[in-house]
Each structure stands twice: as structure tokens, then as C-alpha cells.
Amino acid sequence: MLEVRDLEAGYGDAQALFGISLSVNAGELVTLVGANGAGKTTTLRAIAGICRPAHGSLLFEGKPLNAVPAHHRAALGIALVPEGRELWPQLTVLENLELGAFERGARSRRTQSLEKVFELFPVLKERAKQLAGSMSGGEQQMVAIGRALMSRPRLLMMDEPSLGLAPVMVTHMFAIIRRLHAEGLTILLVEQNLSRALEIADRGYVIETGKVSLTGTAEELLTNPAVRTAYLGI
């Protein structure tokens, strides 16, 4: 479904990605793990289009993405739950969700989408009229995921959805991700919490300083001695 080849990108003069290649097949849950600053966020931003790649190609369902403007990628079925949530804090929860379905196709189905999001996160229905910025971290993460789902994505990318959440909320988030995956959604998940991510993922990529250093099935990575010492501290 998604194919990334030799992706290079950066910020001004500082290059962050030095030739990332990865793929995600339809229905898979693939995780991207690696230390802080490895380039995971930049990779997702390049796929979503808000960071311009300097080199490399992106294919989505066989079609090249490079020339597609970022704001047209939602219509193709690509959604990103950004790191740090990036809500519109002075809009209500409901407005945040509604705007997630801005694109024409998604807009026509927004009533069903909204029902689905409220079923997934009942607390958002109670808090629909509240300003998004006034919610707790966990609730804001729910809004961020809900907003992405409102666009009816076929590929859902999530950037550290468990970051800064209370342990109970982390467990809840992973349960939600597992459920979305079980319902058939294709997911590309970036996580610092490597053991939990590999627990629910099909495959994984380990990113180090802008390159893929290791890849394999979740099981292979979990049992890989290098991964165990470097990331799991075992």
C-alpha cells in the first residue's frame, strides 16, 4: 500500500533522513522504532507531505506521491496523528472532529464517522462542546486520533500516541490501536515504547540516525539480541 524508497529529508541545512526505505502492506500494522532524534517524525511528516523530501520516492497504492500537494493527501486516504497531538486548542472537540472531515468525500460521510469516533471514545461525546485545549492529555490524544479517523483514512499514521500519558491511558491507547488494526485498518505506528509496540505490530523497522538499521517481523525484532540490549535494556 505504501512504499518509501531512499527517502532523504531535513530541516534547512540539517539533513535528518539519509535514505529511508520501508513498505507497509494493506491491513498491516507496522511500527517504526528508534531513539529520540532518529528521524521517525520526519519520515511520517514526509509521507503526509508537510515536510518536503530532498530525494527519494513515495508510492501510495502504486501511485507516486511526491508531486501530490500535502492537502490533497488526506483525500487519497492518508492520515497522520501528529506528535504532540497538534489540536486546534480554541476550537471545541466537536469542531476539531468536524474539521477532520473537511475533505469532500469525508464530509459527505461525517455523520457515520462521528458516530464511530464517539463509539470508540464515548468521553468525547460528553465533552463535545468543550474547548479541545482544556482537556486532559489522554482526552486530547483521543481527539487527535478521532480527528484523523474522521477523514476516513486507509493508512493511519500515528506518531507516539502514548507520549506523556498516564499508564492506564497508555494501555487504553494500545487497546484502541489493536482494535483499529483488527477492524482492518492499515497502520504505521511510531513508538518509543518499543516492547508494547512490537507486541501488537506485524512488522517493525528500527531507525538509527536517519537510516533503517534493522527490520523484520515483530517477533524477530523482539528476540533480536541487539534490539534487546539497545532498546529493551535486557
Partner 1 sequence: MREVFTLAVSAVLLAGFYAAMAYGLGLIYGVLRIVNLAHGGIIMAAAYLTWQLFERFGVDPYIAIPVALVVFFALGAGIYLGLVRFLPRGPAGAVQSLLLLFGVWLIIRNVAYLLFTGNEQAIHTSYATRSVTVFGSSFSVTRILVFAIAVVALLLLHLLLTRTYLGKAIRAVAQNPDSCTLAGIDVERVRIFTFGLGTALAGLAGVLASTLFAFNPSFGAAELLKSFVIIVLGGLGSIVGIALGACVLAFAEVFSIYVVPPYLTSAVGFVLLVVVLVLRPGGLFGQRVLR
Ligand X SMILES: Nc1ncnc2c1ncn2[C@@H]1O[C@H](COP(=O)(O)OP(=O)(O)O)[C@@H](O)[C@H]1O
Instruction: Select 20 or 93, whichever has its Cβ closest to ligand X.
Output: 20
3-state DSSP assignment of residue 50: coil
In angstroms, give the least distance from the CB of 159 to ligand X.
7
From 13-21, 42-50, 59-67, 220-228, span contacting partner 1 (CB under 8 A): 42-50
Residue 55, strand partner residues: 8
Yes or no: say if 188 and 203 are a contact pair by the CB < 8 Å rule.
no
Count of chain residues binding partner 1 (CB under 8 A)? 30
Per CB under 8 A, does 59 bind partner 1?
Answer: no
Between CA 205 and CA 40 the distance in angstroms is 10
What's the rounded Cα separation, in Å, for the pair 173 and 50? 25
In the set 87, 169, 187, 200, which binds partner 1 (CB under 8 A)? Answer: 87
In whole angstroms, give the CA distance from residue 81 to residue 69.
18
Alpha-helical runs (H) found in 101-204: 104-108, 110-120, 122-126, 137-150, 167-182, 194-200
Residue from 151, 158, 173, 210 touching partner 1 (CB under 8 A): that is 151
Q: Does an H or E element contain 60, and which?
A: strand 55-60
In the complex, the residues that contact ligand X under the rule CB under 6 A are 11, 14, 16, 34, 36-42
Contact call for residue 106 and partner 1 (CB under 8 A): yes
Minimal distance in Å, beta carbon 52 to Mg ion? 18
Contact 172, 179 (CB under 8 A): no
Cβ neighbourhood burial of 32 (10 Å; 0-12, 13-18, 19+): buried
CB of 2 to partner 1, least distance (A): 16
* Nearest-angstrom CA–CA distance, 85 and 147: 10
Rounded least distance, CB 134 to partner 1, Å: 12
Residue 16's binding partner out of partner 1, Mg ion, ligand X, none, with CB under 5 to 8 Å set by partner kind: ligand X
By the 8 A CB rule, do 18 and 208 touch?
no
Amino acid at 187: I
Instruction: Please choose which of partner 1, ligand X, Mg ion, none residue 126 contacts, taking the beta carbon within 5 to 8 angstroms, the exact cut-off set by kind.
Output: none
Contact 223, 193 (CB under 8 A): no
Among 35, 59, 99, 123, binds partner 1 (CB under 8 A): 99
Interaction of residue 41 with Mg ion, rule CB under 5 A: yes
Binding mask 67-96 vs Mg ion (x if CB under 5 A, - otherwise)?
----------------x-------------
Query: Least distance (Å) from ligand X to the CB of residue 101?
Result: 27
* List of residues contacting partner 1 (CB under 8 A): 48-50, 69-75, 79-80, 82, 86-91, 95, 98-100, 102-103, 106-107, 147-148, 151
